[in-house]
Amino acid sequence: MSVETVDQENIARDRRATLDKLRAFGREFGPAYAALAVSRKAAGWLPERIDDRMLAIEGRRGVMGPAHRRWTQHSVTTNREVWSGWEWEGGGEEWTASEAWKASLVSDVLEPTMPRGGTILEIGPGAGRWTGALHARAAELILVDITDTTLELCRERLGDPPNVTYVCTDGTGLRDVATASVDAIWAFDAFVHIAPLDVASYLADIRRVLCSGGIAVIHHTGRRDPKGWRSPMSAALFANLARERGLVVERQFDTWAGGRYGVRRQGDVVTQLRHA
């Protein structure tokens, strides 16, 4: 067999593989998505714009597709660098819309969902913006963050009480937290900065560490942020990722207090999960 014949067979095989992949994309995401996949490969300078549209399609369908999987921003390394070097003089309150907004979030969302007298775990406490309210309800409080800098800020804010445990995570889960040891999990303003694949990893560990009947309340992105400050996610995708990992999605909402306050303006969502 000549070299030319071998080359032609290899080209034909590659074309068949490409067509098979495009047909699979078409079946899962629709013909528009398949066309975008072709365009992205040929575009050169357009991949980011095309990825935006592919992310939107995947998000609407609630599927972790190629665009979400190849997302490289909000990596563990980047997050550790950002939050270790962040100027925390404001204690995280720079993201508080108003005192009334924060008080309402505590009274209408945190207090009704975080049980008294149990073990509560907070993911991404930052400088402890919500930690005081959680500590007031918990018999045991576990604070999990990606950097020792923020954990030390929480220690200073709380006064280092004996019923608080500080865990520096690897940025993809809760591996140092015991299985079935937690009654409730709270995360606000953390998952909006976590890459999609790491979100999926965290959800698997949330299922693992929660006791039977335990609850998790997670604030996350609800749409693609064109400025890139938030990681791409949707309510449908987050819910499907949680269900695939054995969690029950009880509700998803973006306002509270009768619609007076919320996270809709940022395009965010709060998802309430349960370990069945």
Query: Nearest CA to 57 among 27, 31, 33?
Result: 33
Listed range (81-85, 127-131, 205-209) with the worst mean pLDDT:
81-85
> Is the pLDDT at 45 greater than 50, yes or no?
no
In the sheet that holds 119-123, the strands lie side by side as: 164-168, 140-145, 119-123, 182-187, 210-221, 268-275, 247-253
> Is the pLDDT at 29 greater than 80, yes or no?
no
Task: Please state whether beta strands 247-253 and 268-275 pair in parallel, antiparallel, or not at all (unpaired).
Answer: antiparallel
> Is the pLDDT at 267 greater than 70, yes or no?
yes
Contact (Cβ atoms closer than 8 angstroms) between residue 262 and residue 275: no
> Is the pLDDT at 113 greater than 70, yes or no?
yes
Average pLDDT over residues 116-144: 97
pLDDT over 90, % of the chain: 67
Instruction: Give per-residue burial for 46-68: e unless 16+ CB within 10 Å, then b.
Output: eeeebbebbbbbbbebebbbbbb
Contact (Cβ atoms closer than 8 angstroms) between residue 245 and residue 204: yes
**pTM: predicted TM-score of the whole model, two decimal places:** 0.85
pLDDT band at 7 (very low <50, low <70, confident <90, very high): very low
Task: Please state whether beta strands 268-275 and 210-221 pair in parallel, antiparallel, or not at all (unpaired).
Answer: antiparallel
Give me the pLDDT at residue 268, please: 96
Instruction: Provide the CA 206 distance to its chain's centre, in angstroms.
Output: 12
Average pLDDT over residues 158-181: 95
Start-end of H helices in 130-195: 131-135, 148-158
> Is the pLDDT at 176 greater than 50, yes or no?
yes
> Is the pLDDT at 37 greater than 70, yes or no?
no
Task: Give the start-to-end residue ranges of the domains of the chain.
Answer: 3-69, 76-275
> Is the pLDDT at 104 greater than 80, yes or no?
yes
Say which CATH class 76-275 falls into. Answer: alpha beta
Predicted confidence (pLDDT) per residue in 216-230, tens digit: 999 999 987 777 788
Query: Nearest CA to 130 among 165, 157, 98?
Result: 157
Q: Supply the mean pLDDT for the chain.
A: 88
pLDDT over 70, % of the chain: 84
